[in-house]
Every structure is written in C-alpha cells, then in structure tokens.
Chains A and B, each alone.
Chain A
Amino acid sequence: MRFLYSILMVGVLSAVAEYFLPWWSMAVVCFLVALFMKWSGGKSFVMGFCGVGMLWLILALLRDVANEHILSARMASLFHLPNSALFILVTVVIGGLVGGLAAWAGALLSPRSATA
C-alpha cells in the first residue's frame, strides 16, 4: 500500500512540477522521492517508472482521445511508427525510463539505503 502511495506521490508531484517547470523536473521529483523513501533500487525504479509512466500515459490518452488521434497519427507517421498506439507507448516508455532511472539513482544515494 505504502509503495502504491509513493507511486501516486511521484505522479502527482511530477504533474505539478511539469506544469510549472520543464519536462525533466519530473526526474528531479523521482530522484528526491526515492532519496527520502527507503525502497530498494529495484523498487525505486519501478516506482519512478510507474509514477511518471502513468502520468504520461494518462495525459497523453486524455489529449489523444479529445483530439481523435489527429496529432498522434501524424506524429507516428513522422517517426515511421505504424500507429498512434505505438507513439503513445514510446512516449510512456521514454517518460517511465527517465523517471525510473532517476528514482533508482536517488535510491542509491539515499542515506538510509546506502549499503543496499
């Protein structure tokens, strides 16, 4: 449960940060959350990946559905991807990867898990 909360926390804090700051502010959020939580490196990665990935998935889906896939279809074609869904997947994976790695890096430097 606490783990789920931390994923949620990553998502919410990233949303707030990204609203005011550049996209990579979510990486700072993941890093800091992991720094203060005592999850293992692996768990922290999952936390960052899922937190940011979910945020990006939800945001992208909301926009894509309201837009009836006009933009995502054109962007997919621009990047030689077969369809909109794959473009959304790429978005989510890139966001999740950055979030996950940043959280993992945070976990590794967390004083509480220094010898993890």
Chain B
Amino acid sequence: MSGGRQDKAIKPGRWVLLVLTTVLVYLLDKPMGSLPAIGRLLDPMNGCWANAEPVNEDFSAALKLAQVHKASVWLDERLVPHIRTETEHDAYFIQGYVHAGFRLWQMDLQARAAAGRVSEVVGEKAFKFDRKQRRKGMVFAAENSLSAMESDPATKAMMDAYTEGVNYYISKLSYRNLPLEYKLMGFKPEPWTNLKIALLLKYMADDLSGKVDDLGMTFLKGIMTSEQLDRLFPAKVQGSSPVIPAGTVFEKPSLIPKQVPDKNTLFPSFTPDDFGEVREDGKGSNNWVLSGAKTASGAAILCNDPHLGLNLPSLWYEVQLQAPGLNVYGASLPGTPGVVIGFNDSVSWGFTNNYRDVKDYYLIKPVDNDKTKYWFAGKQQNFSVRVEKIGIKGKPDFLDTISYTIHGPVMYDQNFGERDGMKKMLAMCWMAYRPTNELKAIYLLNKAHNYDQFVNAIMNFQCPAQNMAYADRQGNIALWGQGQFVNKWKDQGRFVMDGSDSATLWQELIPMRENPHVLNPAQGYVASANQNVTDSTYPYPDRGGFVELRAWRINQVLSGLSKASVDDMFALQNETYSYLAANMVPGLLKYCTSVQSKYLDGLRNWDYKLSAESETATFFQVWWSYFYGEVWYPLFGGHVPNNLMPLHERTMQLFLADVHPLKGVTVEGYYAAIVSKSYRMAVDSMVRSEKQGSTQWYKIKNTTVSHLAKLPAFSFDHLKVGGWGNTVNATKRDHGPSWRMVVQMGKEIEAYGVYPGGQSGNPGSKYYADFLQHWADGKYYRLLFLPDGEKQDDKKIRWKWSIN
C-alpha cells in the first residue's frame, strides 16, 4: 500500500476486475433463454419489487388529462371502477386508460395471440401456434371487421377514444411501473391500435365458433350408412329441450329453402391417412331469464355464466360507465371498449354460445403443374396470395405464403398440417371473415332502454353466434338465437365439401330478424345452455354442435320453480347434479345385481351430485369414460379424425333403449359385456388412484386457474369445486363459469356477480385473485350500481380519481 510508483501507469492486470465486473453486469442485464435479466429484475428500486403493491395502497388520485373534460372515477372496495364523464368519448378514453392501468400485459399478450405474434416476444416455442393463427386468417378477419367498424361513425369514435386512452397510459410508463410480466419476459408494450380491438373480438369469435366436426364426419360418412350416421349424430337429439321453447310459432320464412343439389360429388371422401388434429373440447355456457310471474319479487331475473378458459389475469374486468345517455355495469373485455355482459338502468342481457355451424371446410383441387391456380366451377381461378411475416425472437422472420380461395384461406396443405394433420388442400369458410361489426352491438346494447332497442342492437352481432337472453324492468323477458347464418341446403357444411363445385358455395344470408327468438313465452322463463336452438318447426336448416345435458337439467329445475329468489338462482348456477349420472346409474346397476363392491354401494346411495369431496362422483366419472370409450372405439375402428364421437347424451339414450349403435336393434348381451368390462377397468383405475392418495372428485379433477404465461407460481390449482361439463356448474379442469351474474330487474336493480380472479392483473397485488375463493365457494358479491349523479357517497366506495 505504500507509495512508490504512483505516477506510472496502472498495471494492465488491475483492469481485469473491472472487465469481469462489467461482464457480470452485462450478463445480469440480459435475459438468457427463458431466464429474465436477473439484475434488472431483482433491483428493488425498479425491478419486480416495484410491483409489490402495498396491501393498503391508496388508489386515490388527482389526474390532469388534456384529452378529456371533467370526470370522476370511483373505485369500490373490490377495485371496480365506476367511471363518470361528460361525454361518451371521455367514458371510453378513461375505460381504455383504466384497462391499461390494471390489465395492460394481458391485453397486449392476448392481442398478440390473436394475431399470431407471440413468437416475437417468446421465441420459437410459440411459432406453431402463431403460424396456425395466420393460416386461420385471424389477421385477415380482423382487418375485414376493422374496415366495417371504422366506417361506422359510432364505433370509430368509440375505438379511437379507447385506443387513445390506452396509449396515453402507455406513454406515461417507465420500466419501474411496467407490469411484472414484461419484466419477466423482457419485452415492452407497443402502442395500442384499433386493429388490436378487432383482433381481440376475433379471438373470442375463434374461441366460440372454432368447433368443427366436418373432417371427422367426412371420414365417418365413408364407413357408415347415412341411416347409421343420422342415428349417431342426429341433427336434433331426441327429447331436446330447445332454447326457443317447443311450440313457439316461427314467422313464415322470407327465403325459399334450398334444395340439395342433385349430384353425388358434393362431398369428397377421406381415409384415416388424410388426417390428424386433436378435437378441442367444446365451450359451454348457461343463461336464463324468469318473468315476474315466476319470481318472489315479481321482477324479472336474468342469469348468465359463460364457461370459458380459466386464466389469470382474468378474461373479464368489471366496470361501470356513466355518460349522458349511458349508465351501464358489467363484465368488460380488457382491450375492448364497452361492457360485453351486464345491465344498465333499464335492461340486462347475457350470452351463451350458439353452436349453429358457421365454419365449413372445402377440398381445393389445385391445377396440375400450376401452383397459382385452382379449379372452381369448371374454370381455373387464381389463388390470391397473402404473405404473413412471422417474427421470431432470436431468429430470422418466417414468411408464410397463404393462398386464398373463393371460400377462404387454405388452412392445410402439404406444407402445413398438424402433427399428423390433414395433408390434402383444405380451405376454410368462416362467417368471421366477413366485415362484421359486433362492437356496434355492444355499443347499442350498453345504451338500450327497451326491447326494441335491444333487438336493434343485436342485429349487428353476426359472429360468433350467441344465444342472447334479455330481461328488463318492465318485466319483459326474451331470448334470441343470434348471429349471421347462411340459408344452407340440408347437410351443406355437415361434411367437407368439394370446393371446385359452385353448388357447394355459401349462398344467400338469412335475414337476421328471422333468427329464432321468443318474447315473454307462456312458460314464464326461457333458458339456453348450448342446446339445440329450435324444434323441428323452424323453417331454416340450423344444424350445429349442440349439447343437451345442462339444458335438460336447467329446464327441469326452472319449470318446477315458483316464487324464485336470487338465492335459488345462485343455487342453480352452482348445482353439480349430473343429469347423465341420474339416468345412467340406474341403468348400469341393472347389470350389476350380483356384484358387490364399495363402489357400487356408493352409487346405490348416491344423490347424483358431482360434489367436490365425493369419491362416488369420481368413480362414476371414471366408469362413464371407460364405458363411453368401450362403446365407440371398437365400432369406429380406433382412430377417428378430430376424435369425433357421438354425444354423451346420444350414447346414454342408445344404452337406455338397449339399441346397438350400428345395427339399430337390441343385440343380446351387447351392453352387458361393455358394462362389465368398463366396470372392471374403472375399479382397477380407482384402486390405483387410491394408492396414490385421495380420490375425492376435486382432487382428481384438479380445477386450475392458470396464469396466461403458464407460470405455476402465479396460478392456483386443485380448487375445491365440484361439477363437470355436463352439470350446471360446468367447472372442468381449466374451463368453467368465467363470470357468474344474477340480476333482478326490479324497481331497484339488484345485481350479483363473481368471477374467478380479481380486478388487478398484477400478481404482486392483493386484488390479483381475491375473488377466486369466493367463486370456488359459490358465493357472490352484491354489485355496486351507482345511480346517475355527480356526488357519490356509497359506503362501498373507497377511492376517487378526480380528473381535471
């Protein structure tokens, strides 16, 4: 340490540590593989610690926003914003600002997912997903709708204001207050656009109208007679309790029913070698409305619980919007303006999915030796080509050239099939490709004051098709099987069609006012749960992927109710009674009179409820799944494309009637053998599971609410919830009631709701998942619907933003 040669140059060796430290800092500032930049992330000033929101955070604020007039936002104890503004523009601007403030990363990621742009931020692992989104024409569809949405002044203004609000929020962000997931994944928010709004709406359309059995049906058509096919896949399941009550008189159709073209080449045929693609499980939902005649209060009640993917941050975000002519409360979709499902001071509405078929496949016949052309109506047509540029983090862009036909984009060809997917050239025709403006429906619904305005609003809702329930304070109830449909000939679109024949083309559209609907039905209630929409008297073909079990049960309960209260509605939304089990178990037990086991004893004394803690429920579910497999796998010779099999309800009916599925008559010993074999398999499976731990239903089912980035640390599993897809409380492993709402439309509106999540998207906030347990327990919150007014003093209000 003593003096010496201070004036001389420092030895080169002394620089080594500086270099090493610099390298260390560089490495800690750089994401590696899936690891985030550790130094930047751990920094307590700006990193993840900055997202640790104090549990007693004061959300009050005084904001100066040049873009809006004077406005107030009251935040209630559940962090639901109640936005009051002087103009509609300001309401949507602030909604955008608030959505971004609490859910920015989620909006961003979901818009990227819709557009097939996830690889840009996570790298190659999302490439296949992105490519499928592009080939599906998601961006094409969104661009088409955007043009319609922007050519309508109302929706253009709505989107512009909303986007402006989101972007204003983004422009004020520094690294420190970025949502946690940006810090973990190492990317930044990009400016919001109206296209992203359109993309998110198409993302919902894809989620809800994506189910297509055309490929599987085409395969089965080759191995079965049409009589067998109709027995297994009837257009209307026998005994269906349709959405629009049977006997409702439909207006005379304005269009002439289409005759089936007299040709036998309309449908190509496929062999097992032609396919792959795993069937996706359908999404369900329930909604129903009761007229005052059925309720204790004498006011109409509307109930809705759309069953969607269970994720965090939650799909829904509660909000109230107040502006001149507007006072609406409900579930909004972060990334889009307005309230999707909810109520205002006059009317309430709810949606369930309407599975009427709006997506078909066409086999494309390319011209030999000319990749740019295909055959249509005897002539060579040029493909129109769209080049999709897929950005991949850490890799060069991938360019995918997608050919568009008169029907739609070529989804599958020799360049793109799923793992063992379709190898033939198939184009997809989908209502969502059309320039539709669903946002206009949302805009008008939010402001509707009576039934006529409700109907006018939903005439803009073309895709995805929805069953729209309605109740108002005058006591009216209604339900519409809404969407834009094609006047098809019988079986058009049931199978893959020959895309070179003009007879298979989608033709005229059915006027939307002729969609099936009912206003104030004599029975005093109307319910939809994804079942058949109409009885056989509806004049247009309306085949689709409907299911019946929940609807049977809901109708059974509602028809027996009188003087119904909101508590009865809560009970029904949370009911785990299995209509399937109640019908199947007595039938199965008939074959087991000589067998003794604790499992059978359990079934003999069972209430048919798939309760969370029931072990008998687990046994039934296991037995049923083996039974179902043993009925269909042998008959279908193993692998059926899309894993297409007849409905559970149809399987149940054939079994109870003792009818052989293919032969159509009773075959001695046929079901006895299946029952006995599947019983042994189920017992073996239970014994194995018991060795590994509890076989309580919820433990086996493992309902999980996953973080959108699939991070288990930010997710919740093994939620103690009963039910399954075929019970009214349709909570499955990762799908379930995503927003439960009950609204009694009395003099004072009494509304209740809950969703499996929380208002904040921040995993470091106490509001991230604070509704989850409440939801799992089947409880509800009384929703705070503020009256129109500049001063608010409700005791549930906790914070206020004063704007300007």
Contacts and interface: CB of A to CB of B under 8 A. Distances in A.
* Same complex: yes
Interface of A: 15, 18-19, 22-24, 27, 31, 40, 55-56, 59-60, 63-64, 66-68, 70-72, 74-75, 77-78, 90-91, 94-95, 97-98, 101-102, 104-106, 108-109, 111-116
A78 B5 CA distance: 52
A83 B669 CA distance: 60
A18 B6 contact: no
Given A78-B711, A109-B10, A111-B6, A98 B45 contact: no
B53 A67 contact: yes
Contacts of A105: 17-18, 20-21
Contact of A75 (B28, B55, B713): B713
B40 interface: yes
Contacts of B667: none
Contacts of A101: 17, 20-21, 24
A24 B25 contact: yes
B1 A116 contact: yes
B714 A18 contact: no
B187 interface: no
A10 to B, nearest CB: 14
A95 B10 contact: no
Contacts of A77: 712-713
Interface in B39-98: 39-40, 42-56
23 contacts: A18-B43, A19-B45, A23-B40, A24-B25, A27-B21, A63-B44, A63-B50, A63-B52, A64-B52, A67-B52, A71-B52, A75-B48, A78-B714, A94-B38, A95-B44, A97-B24, A98-B28, A104-B17, A104-B21, A105-B17, A109-B14, A111-B6, A114-B5
Interface stretch (B461-469, B499-507, B581-589, B760-768): B760-768
B511 to A, nearest CB: 53
A65 B53 CA distance: 10
Contacts of B49: 59-60, 63-64, 71, 91
A94 B41 CA distance: 11
A23 B49 CA distance: 12
A44 B14 CA distance: 14
B2 to A, nearest CB: 8
A71 B766 CA distance: 9
A17 B46 CA distance: 11
Given A78-B714, A98-B28, A70 B18 contact: no
Given A63-B44, A101-B24, A108-B14, 8 more contacts: A24-B28, A27-B21, A66-B52, A67-B55, A68-B766, A78-B184, A90-B42, A104-B17
Interface centre among A23, A64, A102, A111 (most CB of B within 10 A): A23
Nearest to B39: A23
A87 B1 CA distance: 39
B207 interface: no
Interface centre among A19, A74, A105, A113 (most CB of B within 10 A): A74
B250 to A, nearest CB: 54
A24 to B, nearest CB: 5
Interface centre among B21, B24, B38, B40 (most CB of A within 10 A): B21
A71 to B, nearest CB: 3
Contacts of B40: 22-23
Interface residues of B, number: 49
Contacts of B11: 114
B4 interface: yes
Contacts of B765: 70
Contacts of B2: 115
Interface string B137-176: 0000000000000000000000000000000000000010
A1 to B, nearest CB: 20
A90 B50 CA distance: 16
A104 B24 CA distance: 14
B44 A94 contact: no
Given A23-B47, A63-B49, A78 B25 contact: no
Given A68-B766, A98-B28, A114 B14 contact: yes
Nearest to B764: A71
Interface centre among B15, B38, B48 (most CB of A within 10 A): B48
B491 interface: no
Contacts of A109: 10, 14-15, 18
Nearest to A24: B25
B420 interface: no
B29 A94 contact: no
Contacts of B38: 94
Contacts of B712: 77
A27 B28 CA distance: 12
A18 B44 CA distance: 10
Contacts of B42: 56, 90-91, 94-95
A27 B39 CA distance: 11
Contacts of B15: 108-109
Nearest to B711: A78
A18 B765 CA distance: 23
A115 B44 contact: no
Contacts of A31: 18, 21
B764 A23 contact: no
A98 B28 CA distance: 9
Nearest to B8: A114
Interface in B765-779: 765-766, 768
Nearest to A114: B10
Contacts of A22: 29, 40, 46, 175
B45 A23 contact: yes
A13 B765 CA distance: 30
Interface string B692-711: 00000000000000000001
Contacts of A116: 1
